[in-house]
Amino acid sequence: MRSFGAQSMVAPLVEVLVKRPGAAFGAAFHDARHGFRRPVDLERAQREHDTFCSLLASLGVTVHDLGTDDAGPDLVYAFDPLLVSDQGAIPLRSGKPTRLGEELAIERWMTQRGIPTIGRVEGPGTVDGGDTCWLTPDLFVIGRSLRTNRAGAELLATIVGGDVRIFDVPYGDGPTECLHLLSLFSPISEDAVVAHRPMLPAGLWELFEDLRIEVVPLPTEEFATMAPNILAVRPGVLILMAGNPQTERILRDRGCEVHVYAADEIGINGSGGPTCLTRPVLRQPYPSEESRRAPTPLPSPSE
């Protein structure tokens, strides 16, 4: 059995890496470049993070803490600095200058556990993990955003290989806001995603239709509280940030098992949802190639 690999957003989550808020997170508001909204209540942030990790553990996930505080406050959002493919680790290069170097801290952790580095995003390219998504184990999507530029997206596509699609992420409110591809949608099962449809790239919508992936629209008024940023522990078993009651009801009405956690400090203040807080190290591998979800071929016009 392999010890790493996470080319899915919904396959059962086995192991995950997190970074508990520390002194750097507590001091984040004092440097405007970090973009925090107010002074940080560090004790509250740590309680919220501990509760989140306990929730993951209660759902059967092995949680590893990075155990270092020698990088900036945003390392708490461990999804962004590095990817873990089935072949190994891919350190990224953030488009947010204050996050440069975070990838090295996570790469060291991976190396210590025998996870090889198979390539890295280097300048002038930039990529944030929040602009990446495995729609299927063989189909990788990259968002070109204010954090992920063309050079970075093209380089990452070359490293990942295979079927990679690149879509432009809307400008939104500009550089002062963090708008990633995964700010707009999240897979909740192999054949469904939730999405903030008004900002969804048209080409991505078309791809969902081609793959026969259902798009579940979420209320616009809950976009600011990161309702579309949902972590699937396994298909239909989801973690959602508190403060999104309409989204929670929509998901429960679909038969999903929804777990909610408080995130005033680690979510709203620092601007990161449950996906952002985690770097999946291992998701349960598919038993065989035949069991992987593949899009059903569309009928030709003559049919």
Strands 279-283 and 13-18: antiparallel
Count of residues in the chain = 303
- Predicted local confidence at residue 177, as pLDDT: 76
Indicate the pTM of the whole model.
0.92
Find tokens 């070359």 and name the residue. Answer: 158
Question: How many CA atoms lie within 13 Å of 224's alpha carbon, on the beta-carbon side?
Answer: 3
- Predicted local confidence at residue 294, as pLDDT: 41
> What single DSSP character describes residue 118?
-
- Predicted local confidence at residue 293, as pLDDT: 43
Domain-by-domain residue ranges, the chain? 13-185+263-285
Q: Is 215 buried (19+), middle (13-18) or exposed (0-12) by CB count in 10 A? A: middle
- Predicted local confidence at residue 68, as pLDDT: 76
Which of 300, 296, 186 lies closest to 239 in space, CA to CA? 186
Rounded to a whole number of angstroms, the distance between the first and last alpha carbons of the chain is 43
Q: Which residues contact 238 (CB under 8 A, 6 or more apart)?
A: 188, 230, 231, 232, 251, 256, 257, 258, 259
Quick check: helix, strand or coil at residue 257?
strand
Find tokens 């406050």 and name the residue. Answer: 73
- Predicted local confidence at residue 292, as pLDDT: 43
Give me the average pLDDT of each 10-residue run along the chain (303 residues): 94 98 94 93 97 98 89 94 98 95 96 97 98 97 97 98 96 81 97 96 97 97 96 98 98 98 95 97 70 37 33
- Predicted local confidence at residue 287, as pLDDT: 57
Q: Which residues contact 288 (CB under 8 A, 6 or more apart)?
A: none
Strands 185-189 and 163-168: unpaired
Q: Which amino acid makes up residue 121?
A: V
CATH of domain 13-185+263-285: 3.75.10.10
